Structure 1
Amino acid sequence: MRQFIRLLLIPGVVGWLLGGCSEKLEPKPLTYSQLLTGTDKKTWKMVSLQVIDDGQASGVIPVAQTGIDPCIYDDLLTFYADAEHKFEASEGATKCSASDPDIYVTDTWTLVNANATLQFYIPVLNGIYPWTIKNLTSTVLTVQYYFPDINASYQFTFNSVTTK
């Protein structure tokens, strides 16, 4: 009987005790907010746009080929991961005027996960609009604005340029 306890029961109890202490690690997917802001802040730069008019898409147009002044399309958009959802628009490599401040818009961003709506300022349109998130990864953000009174929309794609 002692032999039975020593050979089967003790290793079984020890194995059960040690095996029960491990925690199963499951990956936690990043949320829209974390993809947008990183852990502290993330800066994005516009790379392309598309115009959809009455169901007909223009095709993806690199922003450098749009005729938009580089001093506008190269601007940087920074989303902060703070409680206030701070947002900044700053000059890119090309300033429209030498006297322009580096950061020219300080505002907030709003994200509604239920319908994937992100509201923020885009320099090309010089305004804040509710954008539908079409694609959001750690390096690419594509948003689309649907005009309420006509069958048309704008779609912009941004690439992440810095993350902290």
Structure 2
Amino acid sequence: MRHFIRLLFITGVVGWLLGGCSEKIEPKPATYSQLLTGTEKKSWKMVSIQIIDKGTASGVIPVSQLNDCSTDDVLTFYANAEHKFEASQGASICYSGEPDLYVTDTWVLVNANATLQFYIPLLNGVYPWTIKNLTATTMTVQYYFPDIDASYQFTFNSTTTK
């Protein structure tokens, strides 16, 4: 019996030493909000738009083809508790004599249905956007009109990250 207890004890100690010394390192994937904001803040510029009407897409339209000064504006999402959001003028100045930073607001992310609510300068409003794609460098969002069979889809590229 002593021999059995001694063997059990030695096996347990050896198993604990060998098993307790190894730590399995698992990569921690970035969350939606971290992809959107980086660790402190991240800025985005619009690169394309697509209009979908009754299931028929217009094709991808580069914003450089649009004659609107707001298409090169910079949208900055902050990773703070307030979810601060800023819109500032790009190289094409829309409001001469006005400050570069022209909108300070907040952003709202609902992970359950991948909805991101924020201001888009081209539409001059805050809408609930469905996230179609979000990576560290690209974001595509789509707004579905509630009363008609149509939607807008915007793609952004990140410009700076902190």
Amino acid at match of 2:67: I
List per-residue Cα deviations over 1:94-148 (Å, max 9, x = no partner).
2123312111000000000000000000000000000000000000000000001
Q: What one-letter code is carried by the residue in structure 2 that aligns with 1:89? A: A
Q: Give me the whole-angstrom Cα distance separating, in 1, the residues matched to 2:95 and 2:34.
A: 34
Alignment length (residue pairs): 154
Give the equivalent residue in structure 1 for 2:56. Answer: 56
Deviation at 1:42, TM superposition (A): 0.2
User: Deviation of residue 14 (structure 1)?
Assistant: 5.6
Aligned mates of 1:68, 1:37 — CA distance in 2? 29
Look up the match of 2:144: 146
For 1:121 and 1:18, the matched residues in 2 are separated by: 55
| 1:68 and 2:72 are equivalent in the alignment | no
> Deviations 1:59-93 (Å, cap 9, x if unpaired)?
1111111x332x21000000000000000000111
Match of 2:89 among 88, 91, 112: 91
TM-score, structure 1 as length reference: 0.88
Once residues 137 and 99 of structure 1 are traced to their aligned partners in structure 2, the CA distance between those partners, rounded to angstroms, is 36
CA distance in 1, matches of 2:43, 2:33: 13
Calculate the TM-score normalised by the size of structure 2: 0.89
What residue number does 2:109 align with?
Answer: 111
Matches within 5 A, 1:1-164: 17-65=17-65, 67-69=66-68, 71-164=69-162
Flag as ranges the 4+ runs of structure 1 deviating above 4 A.
12-16
Give 1:20 deviation, angstroms. 1.7
Q: What residue ranges of structure 2 are gaps of 5+ in the alignment?
A: 1-9
> Structure 1: 5+ residue runs without aligned partners?
1-9
Counterparts of 2:42 and 2:129, CA distance in 1: 18
Q: 2: distance between equivalents of 1:97 and 1:84? A: 27
